A and B are shown apart, each in its own frame.
Chain A
Amino acid sequence: MTPASEYFGGSGGLAWGDNVPATPPGESIPPVHIHDARVEFGSDSVRKGALFAGLEAEFAAGVFTSILGSSGVGKSSLLRLIAGLPPRRGTATGAVTDGDGKPLTGRVVYMDQRDLLLPWLSVLDNVLLGARLRGEPCQRGRALGLLAAVGLSGWEDARPDVLSGGMRQRAALARTLMEDRPIVLMDEPFSAVDAITRLTLQDLSARMLAGRTVILVTHDPIEALRLGHQVQVLAGSPAWLDPPVAPPGVPPRDPADPALVGLYRVLIARLQAAA
């Protein structure tokens, strides 16, 4: 990844995101089971519809799953359901549990496509937000380490408004990693950053999130194939999940790999068939 190192002005190798040890998750990794999920909106008289009607899904423990789908198909709604958040509109029902039938509360971290940094907190305090909300002691050292890992050394005390879009999203990634949860939900986390930053953030995420149950929602087949142990297409109305496609090799994969190019065609065909 020479271009990235040049871009970030590092002297020899990447200026950041390199040689960051994967933090092993502190607790056992659960799978995610979704049973009979329904998200319905509209009343009887007005336009009534359902994003999901009896959706069933299982995401194995420790597996990185990429979910592809066109806009509005319900990708974000699926993640919100797993995160325990109410749908943006309509009502949601259904059971989201780990393998043992227990709820996932407190074991999930959620990263949105918007950075959602709080403008009144410094970058460091944004990374420490979860600990602050839970009244836990702040692990400043770990937070500073994560900020260094995402290339934001020296920016700890800056307010988010002086950061560029890519830097803000890197801070949001540091905040996500700081949470150290076994289940990681990501909603198009890198859709708003430039191509090179996206590659570096993908590499970083693949390395730092290895071993966790990750569900990444994206509309970019390349991103899905680079990062996922398996890729599933969410399509239809009400939506369902296609059988997974499993790219060979270990993520993060080289996007120019011929095997990936072949799978890219498969996924595009599935997405086109669904449209």
Chain B
Amino acid sequence: MTARPDPSQALAARAVARGRTWRPGLRNIGRTAVTIAGLLLLWQTVVWATGVAPYILPAPRVVANAWLERPDYLLTNAAVTAAEMLLGLLFGGALGVASAILIATLAPARRWLLPVLVISQAIPVFALAPILMLWFGYGMASKVVMATLLIYFPVTAAFLDGLRRTEPGWLDLAQVMTQDRWAVIRHVRIPAALPALASGIRVATAMAAIGAVVGEWVGSGAGLGFVMLHANGRAQTDLMFAALATLAALALVTYYSVDWGLRRALPWTPDSPLDDARF
């Protein structure tokens, strides 16, 4: 009698399941906070124990003071770096998605573009930084290009991998339903590859900050990389550390926001939480 499940109950179960993926997120933030506190304590202890000079390793409190003295300076420069990261993610992501679809759908693109793509990865992108400075100037453009180049490959590779691994049964089903190859790519292959694309975007998000800051180190007038370089030149080690902490916070916030957004966008992705205490 009760074997027939009730739609509303199943939907409630799904809401609970979603909640279960949410709460570890909050708990993770809590753990991260504890880890950071522990590291700060260790840092403070090292400074006390060794009596190291503040221009080599300033105490956490000194760094905090440096931050509090010039919050607007650090935040405006953080905004520049954040903009570079996000634009890099946007362009690198869009280019990666477009390339992967092109390579997956067009045989000539597969034959010609794929080898170029692989070979291009033999060139360390960081080695290109001075050239990008030369071509795109000292402003934001060169950093955005740098981040774009860095992000492009993981996004393309992950999405292409996903596009290649469509469940064959789905393709059989679609092939019997239509002769339109593009319709199958659009309605079956691409949506099926979105979880793989999400993985690529997560990796890319972690790399965005690297691209932006390395670009700023080579030459710039703004951004957290610029702040660090500038402070280094004036032996303001506390300011360097303040900039570094800001960058870490920025990277964390970006990563978790992107991760949260991707989870929300793809709720159907098969998920077997590692905390499930099974295998």
Contacts and interface: CB of A to CB of B under 8 A. Distances in A.
A109 B176 contact: yes
A84 B11 CA distance: 38
B10 A162 contact: yes
Interface in B158-193: 167, 169-170, 172-180, 183-184, 187-188, 191-192
A9 B183 contact: no
Interface stretch (B1-9, B39-47, B80-88): B1-9
A105 B179 CA distance: 9
B198 to A, nearest CB: 12
Nearest to B183: A133
A9 B177 CA distance: 35
A150 to B, nearest CB: 13
Interface string A155-170: 1001101111001000
B13 interface: yes
B48 interface: no
A6 B267 CA distance: 35
A34 B180 CA distance: 25
B14 interface: yes
A164 B191 contact: no
A110 B180 CA distance: 17
Contacts of A7: 3
Given A120-B191, A159-B268, A110 B173 contact: yes
A155 B7 contact: yes
Interface stretch (A63-71, A111-119, A210-218, A259-267): A111-119
B2 to A, nearest CB: 8
Contact of B187 (A9, A132, A163): A132
The secondary structure that dominates the A interface is loop
B5 A164 contact: yes
Contacts of A130: 177-178
A130 B183 CA distance: 10
Nearest to B267: A159
Contacts, number: 83
B188 A110 contact: no
Contact of A106 (B3, B170, B179): B179
Contacts of A154: 7
Interface in B1-59: 1-5, 7, 10-11, 13-14
A77 B178 CA distance: 20
B11 A162 contact: yes
A134 B180 contact: yes
B190 to A, nearest CB: 10
Most buried by A among B3, B5, B10, B176: B176
A203 interface: no
Interface in A77-92: 80, 83-85
B187 A114 contact: no
Contact of B176 (A85, A114, A155, A158): A85
Closest 3 CB pairs of A and B: A133-B178, A162-B10, A130-B177
Given A109-B176, A112-B172, 15 more contacts: A6-B1, A9-B4, A112-B173, A114-B169, A116-B169, A116-B173, A120-B191, A133-B188, A134-B177, A134-B183, A135-B183, A155-B7, A158-B10, A162-B13, A167-B5
14 contacts: A6-B1, A8-B4, A9-B2, A112-B172, A118-B188, A118-B191, A120-B268, A133-B177, A133-B183, A134-B180, A158-B7, A162-B10, A162-B11, A162-B13
